[in-house]
Every structure is written in C-alpha cells, then in structure tokens.
Structure 1
C-alpha cells in the first residue's frame, strides 16, 4: 500500500551524538477510562471439520438450518484444520478427505448460506496444527510434506529437547521460526481477501502442552543470538519461556494488523486456554501462575489490552458436577472481563465457550445462562457433538442437538429470543511497518509518538515487523534507531509504512 509523499517526512536524528531522541523524555498520556459495555448478544456454535457438517452441500445446508432453529447468530466454521483448508481459494492446500464432495468449497458455501439467514460466519483456523496420523493430507504442497520432520534445514516442526516432534497423533509448527510466522499470516490474509467472512478465529495459537517445546536447532540459535544466552536452556528456564511467549504474541500482532489492513471490519478472535483454577479477578500476577501462561505460553490479557484481539472466546471447558469446576467456569469468565479494558478507552469483547461435548444438556444450559447473565457472549463446542452422550456415541447428533435446543430456547433461556449479533469490532485501525537491514540482538526498539508524547513502544519480530493497534486517529511519528517517520493513523484501516532500511554507521545512514 502506498501513500502520498507529502504526508511523509523522514528526519535523521543523531542518537549517538546526544541530540534528538536521546534528549526527549516525555511521559505517556493517562489511559482513557473505558466505557461500560452493554451485554453481548453473541450466541455461537463451533462447526468442526472432523465429522459430518461441512463436507457436502447438503450437510452445509442442514448445519445452517439447525443453527437458525437453535437461535444462534454466529458460526465459527473450521476453515483450516491442520495446514489444509476446507476451501478452494487460499494459500493453504485443500483438505484431502474422501468424504468431501468433489469441487465443493465449504467455506464459500457456509458464508453464502449463513449470511442469507442473518448469521455471521467466522473462519476458525488451527494456527500451528500441521499433521495428524489419522488424517494426513496427501497434497504435495501441504506444509507437512514440504516442511515436515524429514525436511532437514527446512523443517518447521516444534520439537522437544531430544528432537522428537510428535504430540500424541499431532505435529505442530514452531512459531519461533520467522518462516512459520510468514506462512501463517499469508494463509489467514488469503482467507479474508478471498472470502466474505466476518472475521478469523485463531485456535492453537500457542505451544503444545507439556512445557518442553521449542528446541528446533534454528530456534535455539535465534534465541541465543537475540538474548546472549549460552548453551541449551532448561525447560523451566523463565527467560526461555518469556522469549517463546513473545513469539506467540508477535504472531498475533502480525496477523491482526495484516488482516485489518485488508478489511478493518473483520473480527480478530482467538479460542484461548483456561486450564484448571482461574486467576483472581484483575490480578495479572495470579494469571502468570496458570498453565495458560507458563505451559502453553499464551498471554491473552496482553493481546486484549493491546487491541490485538477484538473477541476472546474462552475455551472454558469445565464440567459443573465435578469438584469445583462450576466455580472455575465462572471465575475464568470474570477474570477475562476484568482484562478487557484498553488504553484507548475501548474494550475487547469476551465470550464463554462451553464444552457441550463433555456435559449433559442441563449443564450446557446452566453455563450459557450464567455467561449471558454476566454480560458475556456464549459459544458452544460443538455442533457435531452437542452432548456428552453424542460424544460417547450413546445417542445421535440430531437427538443431542434437539435436546440442547429445547433447553436453550425455553422461555427465559439464553436462546429463547433470537437476536442478531451486530457489534462492530473495537479495533478498527492501526500502524504496521517493517525494519530491514542490519539486525540487532533482540530486535529493534520502535516508538510511536503523538502530540509530542511517547504513546506506545514495540520491538520488531523475527521478520522485522512492528505494529500498534490502539493509537488514536491522527498524526503519528514512528521512531527507530535514530530515525523518524511521520504519517497519519487513519480513522479506519491500517496504515502500512514503507520498509525502513537500517544500516550500521559504517555503511551509512538509514533510508526508507
């Protein structure tokens, strides 16, 4: 994306001589007071791709009809399963499944059918999923075939310290590899560019369970180069965990801004982890003791605070009758709500995701009731397995869905009065740029200045990208390594700054 030259000004600031940036120490403005949010009307279903529901035109029509009868207003449709797409027009290869109808584009059809019935359709993407032994993709373009465990220096697999890569039946991509971040971003952008989806949802936007991942040799070499660490970090090394966690956040930032650059009205959502006991409301210290933070390396409160997530759908998979899990369900919901405020005065949206497949219909209805009463949205997992009895193959999917529907649509229940979800995403603008040239350990420090004040800081990722998503509209000056680049944050959309080439003092000044 190009911008008129007159809108840009490039200044050379001489940090090394003590002038310019080095002499300025302004303070950031106080954060805006967030406005209270009305109760969310989001009522959704996850539509997974591991069984019937999306594989033929007839199934797609029935899925949409069932969703309308149930009273939901949003479908989280699995678009990317494990490096392959239930679609025909993206950078991912199509799913190879003998049950998939020939020349059928499930995502396109679900968008068309859903929109015709007033439903929003979110493309649900398994970000780091790459392989499953039960359902391998046979397309030679598939990521597991081009960058799998036997690809040598081209392998992108997350690995344990002993070099093994398989987690159960699955293989995962390592987000610590810059090439993986490019691959994921391009795939997600292609979905938004080629399909009229209402947004994207990031699933498996994390490391695998177990706290022992990230030991690809190139990831380790990058970690040492950026931090100055020596040797191989222990699995419980907090600095190592912090670095890997930052790679996950960097990918969320890149995806969010790249997608918003294509369509500012697209929702950026994530299906997030809520293992075990909840943190205390408003307490980030207690959150950082949870497995969400230290095991799978998700820092979703930061994603919400920085405007990278419009919608956090908690995978709040609890079974009320077991021990304290009902209280855990409510506690995670309350904690997420307490993390929703952002510096620009907006709030991220929160929805509770219920594990319909683990519970009796009465428990699902009770969880949906409590979530909605707290002002949250609600999403059920999943359409294909709507009850524990269906999951355990003790009743049919149609039987289970009908029981759940009757409970959720009874008078006074959350789906009794169907209503559209009409919220607009809270993040509608941003700034995205890239620094190229001479790398520096740990990335380049980037600052955003508005009105003569420092308003945000960032660090470039492994590909040199940086970005900001909560800046007010108006003039902005981006400063990095003694250089200043002036532009304007739009009212809507993402301004894409030109690449900034930085050279060392020996090779000359930086240039855009």
Structure 2
C-alpha cells in the first residue's frame, strides 16, 4: 500500500528584522579614524557576535568617506587619505557582516568642532548667510542647540541637499542600506521660524501671521516636512537598489503608548515635540526597519518597564496595505548601563521578536563612559555576557533577510508657484487606496502599494501606470496650472489606510 506522508507544518515566519544583531559605530571618538581602528572595530564586532554595523558616515553635513556629495570631515584625527566607510564595508563584508551607513540628516554645524572646508554648508548657508541660510531657527532668530546647528527641512533647498547626500552613499558604496538619524526637529518644538519657512507655510496653507509654538496646523505642517524627506530618500534609494535597507533611528521619549494605540502615540513628545511620526513611516513602507533609540536604564524608576513598553508598541504598529510589516530593532544605550543590564535588555528584545542594536562601540558600558574602564575592558566584559550560552548573541549568524519594501511609485508636479502640500491620491480598481502630500519641490510618492495598475490624481491631473513587483516607477511630471494657494489644513500622514483621501 502507498504510504501517505503528511507535509510538515509550515513554520511561522520570523518577524522582519528579528535577526539583526547590530552595533552603532560613531564618528566622535576612536573606531573610524585610522586603518588600525577600523580593522580592530570589525574584529571586535565579529567576536561579539554582531552581524550588522551601523557605521556613522555623514556626521554634520560632512562625511567620513571620500565619495559623497557632501565634503569630507575635517577631523584632525582622521588618517590622511583614508576612506573609513569604504574600508569598513570591505572588511565587514569579508566577515559576513552587513554595513548600514548611518547619517545625521539634519546635522549641519558644531561650534566646538566646525568643519573648516570653505565649501561646507555651515559657511555657505550658515548663521551669517542672510536669506541664504538653511538653519533651523527659533522665533527670536537664534539657532544653536547646545553647540549644534540644524538644517531646517522646511527649506526645500536644504532638504534637497540632505536627500542627495544620503543618495550619494548608495550610488558610490556597496553599503547594505542607510540609517536616518536626527530625522526630526530639535527638542522643544520652538523651531522653524526662518522667514523663508514661514513664507512657504503661509503660501501652502493660506494662513496669516506668525504661528505660535502650540498651533496644531503649524505643528502638522512641520511634521509633514520631516515625513516628506523620509519618503523621498526611501524612493530615490529603492529606485537605485530595491534591496537596500531603509532604516531610521527613532525617538522614544518618556512613557510608551499601549500597543496599537496610535492616538496615544500622538500625545507623546516624539510626535508633538520633535515632530517625528515613525508609526506612519512604518505603515506607509517608507522604512524597512525601525531602530528604536530606546535608551532606558533598568535601575532608574519605571525605565525598565518603559523599555519593554516601547518595544511592544513598535511591534504592534498595524501592517501596511500590501499586508507586509516593517521590522523593529531595540536600540539600547550601552553607555548608560553596566554590561549585565545591556545583556538583559538585549535578551528581552530578542525574546520579544525584535532585533537588537547597541550604542555604542566607543562607549560599550557605563564604566567606560565614566572613564572607569578602558574601551577594551568594557567590550570584553560585554562580549562575555552577550555570547554566553543562551544569551542574545550566543549563536552568531549572518543577517541575510531582504527588506519588505522593494517597489514604489514617485513623481513630481510642476507649473505652479505653490508646489507643496497638494493631496495626491493613488487608486487601484477604481478605489482610493492611499494618499500623500507633495513636498516643497513638488515631489510625491508611495512605497507600500500592492503591485498592479495604479492611477494617480493630483489637482485635476491624472496618470495611469503599473506598480511593478520590484523597482520604482517614475511618472512624468504632471503640470498643474491653477494659481490659487492651497488652503487645506495639513492632513494626518496615513497613506496606508484603505479609505478615500479627504479633499
């Protein structure tokens, strides 16, 4: 008689990004400054069981590399002729590790360590550049946050400069993806008052006067500028390399919302203070992996519960309209904790189905940060705990997973003096499945649409094309000739919701 063999039950698919075992390598101390440092860093990471290096490339509109659209960093400790990013990619790939280029998107200047290149934007578009300044400013015109100056993403030229800096790394290096850091406004929600930004805000919204810091229309408009840049970077990179990972280092201030409670998220400082709406980025396919900057100390008050709560909230963000979900990795502050706490946080993160990334290689323990241990001592103590039997990094394996977003659609409207803030609808099967808003350059796009025939409508214009299984479709420019300013208040960024866009 024939023997019937029942097929083995399908194993559940591991959550996206759950295989990440990462290490942030910052550019503000040893690790990337010389060939010897880069070589040692890669060896140390491999010994710890790390499979992904988040290597700081663009720091403050300058690069620890030789082939970017932004100038090279003018750090006196940086070895002459060295390309730290290129060397890190070569050495890490040889060890089976991925390299994600870590970019401070809005970093622009630091008064304590200024870039000395005359072509650097802190000199051509800095605080003394008058109408050509690209700096985020308070209502009184001041621009410093500590020693730092930030780009204002509400200035289209500044946003474009930042976007092209990120894209240039993907064009010129064999990196496995990018990480967007400082993709937000500075703390305090008192920023955005450059005259050019205010003029654009009034033109796009039809509002008059100078908005107060608590004006919700003003807050929504600025938050949209941040999302616009994330969207444009994601689509430009996916057009070049669909399998490149788009990740973001995101804010988790204070107590977490309950899992699935997006309304509660909109009451957090992340949403209302630094104007970062990362759940919307996850739902609209703009990021493949959300690396939470979940910098909590287990021994301080409720911070241990907050750490677990933010992880749970991020894991509970609803899926996209194409049925896929962005991944989540817990980024832990190794410099704020002793090695036992870091190992425990890593274990809880991995146990919850998340990836794990530690900050940072240079300061791997609280004792190193407080100058009570050398970096080598801190790395050694941490490595023993992270790679012990049953620990989070005990069984190192390469992270070979592909990102959930490999396709998209993008375009631009022209012919109008007010290109930004136009509602763009995407229709499939005659139904509106998503919408987005144009940015200050007229760009729009979608990253999580199901493949197939898609109609795009904006300001009375329409175009039909096919979203492919893989790759990004660039639509021809759509000419809009109405001369009326847009008077619609900002829409919440929910392009993944299967409901008609509002007018």
Tell me the TM-score normalized by structure 1: 0.90
CA distance in 2, matches of 1:120, 1:36: 19
Aligned positions of 1:68-83 closer than 5 A: 68-83=46-61
Instruction: Map Cα deviations across residues 307-342 of structure 1 (whole Å, 9 max, x no partner).
Output: 001000000000000000000000000000011511
- The 1:253/1:49 distance shift into structure 2, 3 A limit, reads same
1:90-109 pair list within 5 angstroms: 90-109=68-87
Return the offset for 1:141. 1.4
5+ residue gaps, structure 1: 1-33, 507-512
Corresponding residue number in structure 2 for 1:383: 361
Equivalent residue in structure 1 for 2:253, among 251, 258, 275? 275
Given candidates 373, 378, 390, the residue that maps to 1:412 is: 390
Distance 2:202 2:430 in 1: 36
1:319 corresponds, among 292, 297, 303, to 297
1:17 match: none
1:62 aligns with 2:40: yes
Report the 3-state secondary structure (helix = DSSP H, G, I; strand = E; otherwise coil) of the residue aligned with 2:224: helix
Q: Deviations over 1:54-105 (max 9, x none)?
A: 0111111100000000001000000011110000001010000111111110
Are the counterparts in 2 of residues 35 and 345 from structure 1 also a CA contact under 8 Å? no
Distance 2:411 2:71 in 1: 29
Shift of 1:214: 0.5
Q: How far 1:46 moved relative to its partner?
A: 0.1
| Partner in structure 2 of residue 245 of structure 1 | 223
- Contact 1:340–1:349 (Cα < 8 Å) also in 2: no
1:337 is aligned, of 295, 307, 315, to: 315
Q: Does 1:197 align with 2:175?
A: yes
Q: In structure 1, how many angstroms separate the alpha carbons of the residues matched to 2:25 and 2:17?
A: 24
For the residue of structure 2 that corresponds to 1:166, the secondary structure is coil
Following TM superposition, by how much is the alpha carbon of 1:140 offset from its aligned partner in structure 2, in angstroms? Answer: 1.2
Paired with 2:481 and 2:325, the residues of 1 have a C-alpha distance of 39
Query: Structure 1 runs of 4+ off > 6 angstroms?
Result: none
Rounded Cα–Cα distance in structure 2 between residues aligned with 1:453 and 1:211: 37
Q: Which consecutive residues of structure 2, in runs of 5 or more, have no partner in the other structure? A: 1-11, 485-503
- RMSD of aligned Cα (Å): 1.5
Q: Is the CA contact (8 Å cut-off) linking 1:227 and 1:441 kept in structure 2?
A: no
Q: What secondary structure is seen at the aligned counterpart in 1 of 2:435?
A: strand
Aligned length: 473
User: Which residue in the other structure is 1:118 paired with?
Assistant: 96
Does 2:21 correspond to 1:47?
no
1:446 to 414, 424, 437: 424
| 2:192 equivalent in structure 1 | 214
Corresponding position of 1:13: none
Match of 1:15 in 2: none
1:459 maps to which of 425, 434, 437: 437
* Residues 387-425 of structure 1, C-alpha deviations (whole Å, 9 max, x = no match): 011111111000000000000000000111111112110
Q: Deviations over 1:110-150 (max 9, x none)?
A: 00111010000000000001011221101111110111010
> Aligned match of 2:478 in 479, 500, 509?
500
CA distance in 2, matches of 1:178, 1:35: 41
**1:170, distance to aligned residue in structure 2 (A):** 0.3
In the alignment, the residues of structure 1 paired with residue 257 and residue 25 of structure 2 have an alpha-carbon distance, to the nearest angstrom, of: 29
